[in-house]
């Protein structure tokens, strides 16, 4: 019997299925993605806002004449750029006319004194004459009364009575004339005394004008443009030259309005703001330090500055706010390291610093994406965490909440980012060191010419930052 091939094939297949070994299961291994990470550091941070401005001498003075005349003498150092000590006579104007005026007024006062003495003596003389004339008047009054009585008794004539009456009236007139003379002297003396006071005031004015013929330096000053010659006539109110005190220089730093807020982060020290600000509150709130450097120079010379005041308006075009910074130009003998003075007209780069914030969490600014960062957890899994920032500055950000420090931060965008995927973290070379160095760069090095208190604060802050970098 011949078996058909199809039946044989089916039988062979069934035998193979029944007697074949079982299938083996092979598990697929998860591949880890390599990402560069850093350990998030904690460090002291000092808020900083950078700006620019032009230096101006804080104190200036115009030499304006208050008298007129010809210049007799000019200070040998009265030249543009020269330094002249306070109190030195800069120039002298001829004062001979004013001295002659003093002499004339003194002579007028002497004449007025003599006239007053004459009038006072005339009053004394008239008073003595009045006493005598009153006695004569008394006698004549008695004679008249006697003649009047005799006439009433028909023992005298009417002509005698009239004669005595005429003599009595004449004597009364003489007495009244003396009284009038005495009364008129007092107003004359008052007029002379007023004229004397006026002359004395004119003398004081002339003496002040004599003093004004000498123009002295009101402070230690640097001289501006001067064009004066001996013998030159100058009038009242004429500006002769300008002087400047280079002991203090002011720079109106133009700061971006959107950056100023970070200066105030640590200014309140956690104390809620008062309902009404006092002057002391404003001084404490705006107690900023500054560092000033002349722009466009390769020199590393910096000048420590101090916030003085803020301008009253925001520039409508640039949206900048003017912070006025003061810089002290110390004399060479007070400097530990000599440096040139900061002069007017210098265009400066200014860094304004707020108070230092200790022990802050800082991350690279580029690691923040839409308010979140990517971390690697303890299981080497990718995690996304939302963070709130205190502020951003330069190439780093200061984290207010969401991170504690020490976490593994992914510094590059893990696109596509799959939350929970396995990660093979590797240290990003130089990123952590660069981050800490960037934070430390915003804490100015203690200047040798700073006050000791400012130098100590700067040194302590930088030491704390360096310690954080080593950790």
**Per-residue confidence in pLDDT tens, the chain, 471 aa:** 445 667 667 776 676 666 766 656 655 677 888 899 999 999 999 999 999 999 999 888 999 999 999 999 999 999 998 989 999 999 999 999 999 999 999 999 999 999 999 998 988 998 898 888 888 888 888 888 888 888 787 777 888 888 888 888 888 898 899 889 888 888 999 999 999 999 999 999 999 999 999 999 999 888 988 989 999 999 999 999 999 988 899 999 988 888 888 888 876 655 566 666 666 767 777 888 899 999 887 777 889 999 988 888 888 888 888 899 999 988 778 778 888 888 888 999 999 998 889 999 999 999 998 899 999 999 999 999 999 998 898 889 999 999 998 999 999 888 888 898 998 899 888 888 899 888 888 776 555 555 544 444 444 444 444 444 444
- Position 268 scores a pLDDT of 61
Quick: pLDDT tens for 250-261. Answer: 999 988 888 888
User: Phi and psi dihedrals of 61, rounded to 5?
Assistant: -150, 135
Read off the pTM: 0.66
CATH 2.40.50.100 for domain 63-95+214-240, yes or no, is: yes
Please give the structure tokens belonging to residue 455.
């130098």
Q: Which neighbouring-strand residues pair with 56?
A: 250
> Sheet of 388-393: strands edge to edge?
42-45, 357-364, 396-401, 388-393
CATH class of 33-45+357-470: mainly beta
- Position 305 scores a pLDDT of 92
Q: 33-45+357-470 and 242-353 share one CATH topology?
A: no
- Position 279 scores a pLDDT of 67
| CATH architecture type of domain 242-353 | Beta Barrel (2.40)
Taking the domains of the chain in order of start, what are their residue ranges? 33-45+357-470, 63-95+214-240, 97-212, 242-353
- Position 260 scores a pLDDT of 85
The answer for residues whose C-beta is within 8 angstroms of residue 89's C-beta and 6 or more apart is 73, 75, 214, 215, 216
- Position 455 scores a pLDDT of 45
What does each C-alpha distance from 175 to 123, 135, 180, 437 come to in angstroms?
A: 14, 10, 9, 110
- Position 462 scores a pLDDT of 46
C-alpha 198/C-alpha 195 separation (Å) is 5
Quick: pLDDT tens for 27-77. Answer: 567 788 889 999 999 999 999 999 999 999 988 899 999 999 999 999 999
- Cβ-contact 388, 373 below 8 angstroms: no
């Amino acid at each position: 019997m011949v078996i058909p091939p199809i039946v044989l094939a089916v039988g062979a297949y069934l035998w193979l299925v029944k007697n074949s070994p079982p299938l083996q299961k092979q598990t697929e291994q998860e591949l880890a993605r390599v990402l560069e990470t850093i350990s998030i550091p904690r460090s002291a941070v000092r808020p900083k806002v950078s700006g620019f401005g032009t230096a101006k001498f804080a104190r200036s003075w115009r030499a304006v004449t208050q008298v007129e005349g010809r210049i007799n003498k000019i200070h040998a150092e009265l030249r543009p750029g020269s330094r002249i000590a306070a109190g030195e006579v800069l120039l002298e104007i001829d004062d001979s006319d004013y001295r002659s005026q003093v002499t004339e007024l003194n002579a007028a006062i002497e004449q007025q004194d003599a006239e007053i003495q004459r009038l006072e003596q005339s009053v004394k003389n008239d008073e003595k004459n009045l006493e005598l004339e009153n006695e004569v008047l008394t006698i004549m009054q008695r004679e008249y009364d006697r003649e009047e009585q005799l006439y009433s008794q028909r023992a005298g004539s009417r002509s005698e009575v009239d004669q005595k009456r005429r003599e009595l009236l004449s004597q009364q007139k003489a007495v009244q004339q003396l009284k009038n003379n005495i009364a008129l002297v007092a107003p004359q003396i008052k007029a002379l005394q007023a004229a004397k006071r006026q002359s004395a005031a004119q003398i004081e004015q002339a003496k002040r004008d004599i003093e004004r013929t000498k123009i002295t330096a009101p402070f230690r000053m640097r001289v501006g443009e001067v064009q004066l010659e001996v013998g030159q006539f100058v009038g009242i109110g004429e500006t002769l030259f300008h002087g400047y005190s280079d002991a203090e220089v002011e720079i109106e730093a133009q700061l971006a309005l959107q950056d100023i807020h970070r200066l105030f982060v640590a200014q309140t020290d956690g104390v809620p703001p008062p309902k009404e600000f006092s002057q002391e509150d404003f001084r404490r709130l705006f107690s900023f330090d500054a560092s000033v450097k002349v722009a466009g120079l390769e020199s590393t010379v910096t000048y420590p500055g101090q916030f003085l005041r803020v301008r009253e308006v925001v520039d409508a075009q640039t949206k900048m706010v003017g912070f006025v910074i003061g810089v002290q130009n110390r004399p060479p003998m007070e400097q530990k390291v000599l440096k040139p003075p900061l002069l007017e007209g210098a265009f400066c780069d200014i860094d304004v610093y707020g108070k230092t914030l200790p022990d802050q969490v800082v991350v690279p600014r580029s690691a923040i994406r839409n308010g979140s960062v990517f971390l690697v957890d303890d299981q080497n899994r990718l995690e996304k965490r939302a963070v709130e920032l205190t502020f951003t500055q330069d190439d780093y950000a200061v984290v207010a909440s969401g991170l504690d420090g020490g976490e593994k931060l992914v510094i590059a965008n893990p696109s596509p980012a799959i939350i929970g995927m396995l990660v093979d973290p590797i240290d990003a070379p130089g990123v952590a060191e660069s981050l800490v160095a960037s934070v430390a760069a915003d804490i100015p090095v203690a200047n040798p010419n700073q006050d000791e208190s400012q130098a100590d604060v700067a040194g302590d802050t930088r030491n704390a930052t360096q310690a954080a970098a080593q950790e």
